[in-house]
Chains A and B, each alone.
Chain A
Amino acid sequence: MFWIIAFLAPDGYSANISQVLSDQRVLEIYSSTKAVYTVRKRILIAGEKDKSLGKVAINENDLQSIKSVKGEIRDLSGKRLKKLHKKDLREFEYSPGYVLYSGNKYTVFNLTNPTLPYILVYEYTIELHSLFNWPAWFPQEDVPVGQASFELRLPGQFQYNYRTIGNVPNADTLDGGRTLQWSLKDIPPYPHEYRTPPDEAEQFGLIFTPAVFKLYGDTGSLRSWNTFGRWATALFNDQIRLDPTAASDLNVEDGTDSYTKIQRIYEYVQQKTRYVAISLGEHSWKPHSAQQVCDKKYGDCKDLSGFFIALLQRYNIPAFPALIRTSNYGEIHLEFPTNRFNHVITFIPLDNDTLWVDCTSEVATITDLPWSIEGCYALILRGNHSVLIRTPISQPDENVDRLEATATLLPTGSLEIEGEISATGNEEQQLRGILLPLTADKRRNTLLAWLSDYAPDFKLQRLQIRGLNDLDSSVTVSFRGIASRYGNTTQRRIIVNPSFYRRWNFKGEDPDERVSSVYYSSRYKTIEQITYTFCPNPTRSRRCRIQRCSYRRLVVTHRYSIKMETTLNSPENFP
């Protein structure tokens, strides 16, 4: 049986390992508002888990529509086992978790066969009504790819730009320069490594941008950051408008300095609005009007930023929307003007400083920059003066997560501990962000779960959270509790790990095999300081719940500190 399969299998691959035999993509451009994109794939399915490669979802929205879908399954001799029928196609609408409704529709099929191995073949064609969302080419998969190509057919003189990712050879030019073809062979599967940086998640690929694009009737240009900024500024300009009577309950006293005014307005926006994203049609890029946000009291990042700017303008404070790609999605490259932004913040130039404000955050103050927009290039939308500027980066000492405690260890291995958890900067935003939306019971359970990570029977006797609702105060969590089996006892010894709250575990792969850099989302510092009193002969005080030692105390202070000074470590530093 195996001999027959080996004989019938096409040359150059093993029938025992699933792989994409060929992945061909063709983008034929007719004009800036019409292009046809075709995807053809032949996949050898050799394992049960790889049957999931037969599940394909094709996106459809205002800017692209599906023209055709075909698929079939063949055995290794080429005999057709199954054909994809219309009834096998299912349609559903989908919006990512942070968007309430986006109008995106997906056509999905799942083509599998019970008997392995088999070859899955499918092809679909999409008509693009704008090149604004020019399909990128990322041919890497979870299985090896034997051969992949991207063919670009152009209508004569057509200006565009592209950027290669990884080692992609130059394109072959055909048809007198009107057709370009990039090809790759023997692409390894995704490495799926621990803490892979977003920019290294794709090892091979091409990203394109048109020099000129049309979107919902507007014409824009990606020839430079400035031209793109001009187009995006126009989307905002009409929308940053408020009736003079709107937001009449906003009280900002005359005579206060600009900084205080901004702070007051920011708090007003935080209190009066909620983040709700409904990005239908042109509103995937164009904000809803500030007046509408004021009336409805919700909006997405660009809506809230527009509303904030409109309120600032009322007090003659100049402010501008800034397009940004959050750091968890990867970098924007200076030399490659692109529309690959996923967020809008507000840029406020002041005499002595610049404020970068994220209106979607419910846990940040005016000076807090969320970790996800630190050190990212932001395109400041100032019409003809639009420019790309990098946001500031906080240092580890500004983002400290700290536990300080005193503890008494008894001969039974029981630990009585009393301490405080506190945090600053990004760490505080994260702590507040987790605890603030929870009910009191859930907060207690969450903190109990954190504190009992290494003390499985930890019982809380007292818990107090301070400063959670006051963004100007720091959050502190005071606790007292007992872990009755913290120490492991042998006949004469108690063996304890002094790190009660934080322990550093190595979760990565073999250092010799590491390919990508190691990524941390933010620079931070973790400190744990616990003063242990070992109590060989305890007595219980009537007044105090913590055990007292009658004699011979041994006091040891354990201090544990980790400082993450960079967010990106090269693979050479991984070991």
Chain B
Amino acid sequence: MTCIDDYTSKMYFQLVRYTDPYNNIKFIAEWSDLLDRIYEQYRPYLQGDRIAKNRAKDLITDESDPTRQLEVIYNFVWDSIDTGESKGFLGIGLQSVRTTLKDRQGSRGNKNLLLLTMLREIGIDARPVVISTRSHGRIYTRIPRLRSFNHTIVLSRINNKNYFMDTADPFCPLGMLPPNDITDYGFLITDDAFKVIKLPKQNSSSMYLAESHSAELKETGELTVNQTLRFEGYRNRNYRSLLAHSDSPEVFAEKYILGDLTNVTLDSLKIANLEDIMMPLTVHIQYTIQNFANIIGNHIYFAPALVQRLTENPFQLENRTYPIEFAYPHIDQATVNIKLPENCAISELPQDRTLDVHGLQFQRQFSIDGNTLQYQRRFYVSQTKLSERFYQDVKDLYSQIVQADQDQVVGTLQESK
């Protein structure tokens, strides 16, 4: 879920006006007051800065296309300025663009305000958009509260195309907002207006694809796997972040790819597209699982779900009083081809499964070609917000997936000649 605070009862108080015989101070009563407050603080960034202008011009010397100019400026702020701690999106949290440029460090908000100033200084239409991030909760439009917001991103419009930008996340290039920014609405600040705008919906390109080029099951129950994994969209971002924060690529693979498997040995690992963040992160991995299959008498038992398998149901509450939310649509897709031992014949397969519940689809299929067993699994989350009314259905779907991922194939071993 996004933010538990959105679903707990509470009262907010806000001082509207203070009056005594000597004072008559108006605080925030209307949305226009709120706009004035924010605009007043963002004015210096909208008015421009000479040093930021010179820096921006230096960067785009060789570029004439505005889209390309925007990309260059974004990449500079995104990559060359460190994201420091945030002290708030207004007031003491703000620092001048010169300080951000000089220190090469700024909070996420200050980095975006530098981006805003630099873009405006080279003539690109850019405006601040104040938002409430997912973890901060939703905005209540009935009451203008400064505390409804906690972050500022930037909107540019070039050739009738909108670019929403946040330079905070080192793994989100231009065109991708950090997951915590994926909310419904933002407030666009212009010179004289405060306009509610819809933030773009994320498409379903967040994929985790696993393909097994060759997996071989031995008579002893050992399985060797040669697999290629590809991460796209937000999965690309998430797994790059995990990789960057791991001690080594091997630790990353053992923890985040093979984590649920036991008795597994990583044999080789190659990571492609690491340097090019725009490309899907691709992991070529070879591993061996000892005792993958259980051998009892002349029967061999194994569960073919390898990576991506669900071992426990994330929905554990009996009842739920708030909705289920996913930040973005996503697909997990795996194909595993397991070559069986020469003397093994499949005697029993679990049934194929197709489950479709309120925009969550799960499919699991088996097929046999000679002595190769093919296992295919696909889980697609297309609906990102589900009412609590559907909780039992979703919980039940997940428990069926957990069970399906543990389903076992039964083979019969004939005595080798």
Binds B, one of A198-206, A320-328, A333-341, A453-461: A453-461
Return chain B residues, CB-CB under 8 Å to A493. 348, 410
Contacting pair B104 A114 (CB below 8 A): yes
Contacting pair A457 B410 (CB below 8 A): no
- A68: Cβ under 8 A from any B Cβ: no
- A449 to B396 Cα, complex, angstroms: 15
* Cβ-closest chain A residue relative to B303: A488
B 104-133 to A, binary, CB cutoff 8 A, 1 in contact else 0: 110000000000000000000000000000
- A495 to B406 Cα, complex, angstroms: 10
Return chain A residues, CB-CB under 8 Å to B84. 110, 112
Within 8 A of B (CB), among A128-171: none
- A270 to B97 Cα, complex, angstroms: 58
- B203: Cβ under 8 A from any A Cβ: no
Return chain B residues, CB-CB under 8 Å to A485. 399-400, 403
Return chain A residues, CB-CB under 8 Å to B399. 456-457, 485
Closest beta carbon of chain A to B376's beta carbon, Å:
18
Contacting pair A492 B348 (CB below 8 A): yes
A 421-457 to B, binary, CB cutoff 8 A, 1 in contact else 0: 0000000000000000000000011001100110011
The 8 Å CB contact of B313, one of A48, A456, A492, is A456
Contacting pair B85 A110 (CB below 8 A): yes
Closest beta carbon of chain A to B214's beta carbon, Å:
25
Contacting pair A488 B406 (CB below 8 A): yes
Return chain B residues, CB-CB under 8 Å to A495. 301, 408
- B200: Cβ under 8 A from any A Cβ: no
- A449 to B244 Cα, complex, angstroms: 33
Most buried by B among A444, A452, A453, A488: A488
Closest beta carbon of chain B to A410's beta carbon, Å:
14
The 8 Å CB contact of B318, one of A112, A445, A488, is A445
- A81 to B301 Cα, complex, angstroms: 61
- A49 to B348 Cα, complex, angstroms: 48
Contacting pair B348 A82 (CB below 8 A): no
Within 8 A of A (CB), among B375-417: 395-396, 398-400, 402-403, 406-410
Closest beta carbon of chain B to A417's beta carbon, Å:
16
Given the known A-B contacts A82-B103, A445-B318, are A490 and B410 also in contact in the complex, defined by CB atoms under 8 Å?
Answer: yes
Contacting pair A491 B313 (CB below 8 A): no
Return chain B residues, CB-CB under 8 Å to A505. 262
Closest beta carbon of chain A to B245's beta carbon, Å:
4
- B81: Cβ under 8 A from any A Cβ: yes
- A113: Cβ under 8 A from any B Cβ: yes
Closest beta carbon of chain B to A559's beta carbon, Å:
20
A 458-493 to B, binary, CB cutoff 8 A, 1 in contact else 0: 011000000000000000000000000100111111
- B312: Cβ under 8 A from any A Cβ: yes
- B82: Cβ under 8 A from any A Cβ: yes
Return chain A residues, CB-CB under 8 Å to B16. none
Closest beta carbon of chain B to A320's beta carbon, Å:
47
Within 8 A of A (CB), among B213-267: 244-247, 262
Size class of the contact patch on chain A: 20 to 34
* Cβ-closest chain A residue relative to B316: A449
* Cβ-closest chain B residue relative to A47: B244
Closest beta carbon of chain A to B211's beta carbon, Å:
25
Return chain A residues, CB-CB under 8 Å to B403. 413, 456-457, 485, 488
* Cβ-closest chain A residue relative to B95: A87
Within 8 A of B (CB), among A39-74: 47-49, 51
- B350: Cβ under 8 A from any A Cβ: yes
- A352: Cβ under 8 A from any B Cβ: no
Contacting pair B80 A114 (CB below 8 A): yes
The 8 Å CB contact of A82, one of B104, B244, B349, B350, is B104
Return chain A residues, CB-CB under 8 Å to B80. 114-115
Return chain A residues, CB-CB under 8 Å to B312. 453, 456
Within 8 A of A (CB), among B41-58: none
- B317: Cβ under 8 A from any A Cβ: yes
The 8 Å CB contact of B316, one of A48, A49, A448, is A448
Contacting pair A112 B105 (CB below 8 A): yes
- A457 to B402 Cα, complex, angstroms: 9
- A506: Cβ under 8 A from any B Cβ: yes
The 8 Å CB contact of B262, one of A47, A490, A506, is A506
* Cβ-closest chain B residue relative to A495: B408
- B169: Cβ under 8 A from any A Cβ: no
- A113 to B81 Cα, complex, angstroms: 8
Return chain B residues, CB-CB under 8 Å to A457. 313, 395-396, 399-400, 403
Contacting pair A448 B318 (CB below 8 A): yes
- A342 to B170 Cα, complex, angstroms: 42
Given the known A-B contacts A445-B316, A495-B301, A505-B262, are A456 and B402 also in contact in the complex, defined by CB atoms under 8 Å?
Answer: yes
Return chain A residues, CB-CB under 8 Å to B398. 456
Return chain B residues, CB-CB under 8 Å to A114. 79-82, 104-105
Closest beta carbon of chain A to B37's beta carbon, Å:
25
Contacting pair A490 B395 (CB below 8 A): no
Given the known A-B contacts A48-B244, A485-B400, are A491 and B349 also in contact in the complex, defined by CB atoms under 8 Å?
Answer: yes
Return chain B residues, CB-CB under 8 Å to A491. 348-349
Return chain A residues, CB-CB under 8 Å to B348. 490-493
Contacting pair A49 B410 (CB below 8 A): no
Return chain B residues, CB-CB under 8 Å to A112. 82, 84, 105
Return chain B residues, CB-CB under 8 Å to A492. 348
Return chain A residues, CB-CB under 8 Å to B244. 47-49
Return chain A residues, CB-CB under 8 Å to B400. 457, 485
- A64 to B103 Cα, complex, angstroms: 31
Return chain A residues, CB-CB under 8 Å to B395. 457
Given the known A-B contacts A456-B403, A457-B313, A457-B396, are A49 and B245 also in contact in the complex, defined by CB atoms under 8 Å?
Answer: yes
Return chain A residues, CB-CB under 8 Å to B301. 495
- A506 to B400 Cα, complex, angstroms: 26
Given the known A-B contacts A444-B318, A456-B313, are A488 and B103 also in contact in the complex, defined by CB atoms under 8 Å?
Answer: no
4 closest A-B pairs by CB: A457-B399, A456-B313, A490-B348, A456-B399
B contact set with A: CB distance below 8 Å:
79-82, 84-85, 103-105, 170, 244-247, 262, 301, 303, 312-313, 316-318, 348-350, 395-396, 398-400, 402-403, 406-410
**What are 8 A-B pairs at a CB distance below 8 A?**
A112-B105, A114-B80, A456-B402, A488-B403, A490-B409, A493-B348, A493-B410, A506-B262
